[in-house]
Amino acid sequence: MDLFAAEEVTALRSEIEEHNYRYYVLDDPSVPDAHYDRLMTRLRELETAYPELASDDSPTKRVGGEALKGFQQVSHDVPMLSLDNAFSHEDMQAFERRIHDWLNSNETIEFACEPKLDGIAVSLLYIDGILQRGATRGDGSTGEDITANVRTIPSIPLRLRGQGYPKTLEVRGEIYMPKQGFDALNAKAMAAGEKTFVNPRNAAAGSLRQLDPNITAQRPLQMCCYAVGLVKDGELPKQHSAILDQLHTWGLRINSESQVVKGIKGCAEYYQYLLNKRDQLAYDIDGIVFKVNDIASQKRLGFVSRAPRWAIAHKFPAQEEMTTLLGVDFQVGRTGVLTPVARLKPVFVGGVTVSNATLHNADEIERLQVHIGDSVIVRRAGDVIPQVVRAVLERRPADSVEIVFPNQCPICASDVERLPGEAVTRCTGGLVCSAQRKEMIKHFASRKAMDIEGLGDKLVEQMVDEGIIVELADLFHLDLERIADMDRMGDKSAQNLLDAIEKAKYTTLPRFLFSLGIREVGEATALNLARHFGDIASLYTASEEALQEIEDIGPIVAGHIFHFMQQEANQTSIESLIAAGIHWPAMVQNEAQPLAGQTIVLTGKLEQFSRSEAKQRLQNLGAKVAGSVSANTSWVVAGPGAGSKLKKATELDIEVLDEDQFAIRLAELES
């Protein structure tokens, strides 16, 4: 295994998951789309080059984020998948070659071309021609029910026109806000002294996520259809472009710029045509979607993981501007990594004024050959944080200063180190360093870890700054009056926080291990550790060799776990947490797990269990919970609304349980 690649994969996955959360859940993205696309591309490249680094919990295996708690959840019978990206003509040529190979044909391919609108993907469900439900894409399998809001959008028909539509028709498209409407909305907000939106996409997202549909109705939203999902009791045309034309006949809006072209040459010509026209369009686009037009060919090509083989998004180049690098600050993260952050002379690029950018690490600074005082090219294609592309060396001033990493941590003055084989520089202070302490507590309290609701980032920072929390166990000894006196708290908020902390004491061993923040130990690795060892005490004495016997744990991760568990301070911290009341049900170890080696699929709506609870209990029994049905599936749990997965299970003669049967089987297996 390549050590540099393993480190880079871990860092990429962590960064991408954070971006996914901010983009899909909070509607508050912190990086431009172009930067996110590059992260995903690089991660796919590494996972392809080093298959041993691939894992089921990688962001490349998933689509996006999760449904907001303010809306009812909706399960998509046909997953709403994402698209792979192309960034050059060579990428498009490779896409075409793959299609020819998969189809085993050299015939010229006809492509349907559509502008890639910068909005929110949604699903509209029509039954007998009447709009029954509107939903966001969410994580591709589960979205948010926004029916009341989509009903307020004039371009979405409440009843289809004409006749001949299928009894059940799911239409998919993009809800967006035109530039003129966005400008008017922001002008109105400014006049009222209210906060303005960053860009049209954020405005569209914020408008759709309103719990009051009256607010949505006041926003200038539009929708363009681009595909269909679930179709029952009816037929559609055999070409994608003809399907869109049919949707238009039934009263649904489609993009007037859509075209059909032949071969990769036609794609290139259309790309250049729309790129030249981009600034004159009434809406924002960030590229073009190319789809194989023939539906039969689409079905033959199928899907891989998170994306169809028959479609690709050719992204437009990011916008760029030149500015001056005024200085570099060094931020310290949860694991002690020092990240250099460029302070820029404010520049307007990509629709906003930006003044900082990450420089990643020392290797990146060396690659860019950038100095303080340089003119630098800044690229931005989405939101907030830009990327420094290069230094303009021919404009370098005589008084430019080389960027030098500090020998001591800028937060706690502890020594810093850069280990052989690592790209990053780290503070050695551990919990002595308040920056690491803050980030560690944030991770410990996060949703996938101990899930302490109400313990936000600013509150953690304030508690550490005021000395209320020095180590993790201090969280479980907080004083109500002291917390109530903190900024923006009060008695009720303080009591709610203490109640959430008390609730968090009952957890699972995998969650607890993940919450400790051991380097490169994600949810999947934590689950494997818990299954293998069954308790914390066994981990204290586990050798690196023993750790490497566990699935998906190689020498690097084994070393991180071993050294973490050998540190007396970490053992003391763990024991303090247990003494504070953290506990969990006993784990069944691998060799005794009744469902070891079995693959189970959950589909439809579960009423007695949440989807996450059902998945967790199955995993605790040794099962792998998959997202699709195949010949390797052991059995399927089908709740109300189960669709294509249930159908496929029936076709493959796979055992299917309803929820009552599932509950009985779980009870038997867990007894």
Q: How far apart are CA 60 and CA 631, in angstroms?
A: 23
Q: What are phi and psi of 173, to 5 degrees?
A: -170, -170
As a whole number of Å, the end-to-end CA separation of the chain is: 41
Judging by beta carbons within 10 Å of its beta carbon (0-12, 13-18, 19+), is residue 460 exposed, middle or buried? buried
195 is catalytic: no
Q: Which two tokens stand for residue 211?
A: 């719990």
User: Which one is catalytic: 116, 291, 315, 645?
Assistant: 116
The half-sphere exposure of 100 on its side-chain side, counting CA atoms within 13 A, is: 12
The half-sphere exposure of 618 on its side-chain side, counting CA atoms within 13 A, is: 24
Q: Which two tokens stand for residue 43?
A: 């991660």
Q: Which two tokens stand for residue 430?
A: 């551990």
3-state DSSP call for residue 493? helix
**Hunting for tokens 């990769």 — which residue is that?**
264
User: What is each CA distance from 178 to 56, 153, 159, 174, 662, in whole angstroms?
Assistant: 38, 13, 24, 12, 48
Residues in the chain, total = 671
Cβ-contact 301, 311 below 8 angstroms: no
Q: Are strands 338-349 and 307-308 parallel, antiparallel or unpaired?
A: unpaired
Q: Are strands 338-349 and 120-127 parallel, antiparallel or unpaired?
A: unpaired
Q: How far apart are CA 454 and CA 504, in angstroms?
A: 12
Q: How far apart are CA 109 and CA 266, in angstroms?
A: 10
Q: Which two tokens stand for residue 609?
A: 């269990």
The backbone region for 506, taken as left when phi is positive above 0, alpha when psi lies in -120 to 50, beta otherwise, is: beta
Task: State the catalytic residues.
Answer: 116
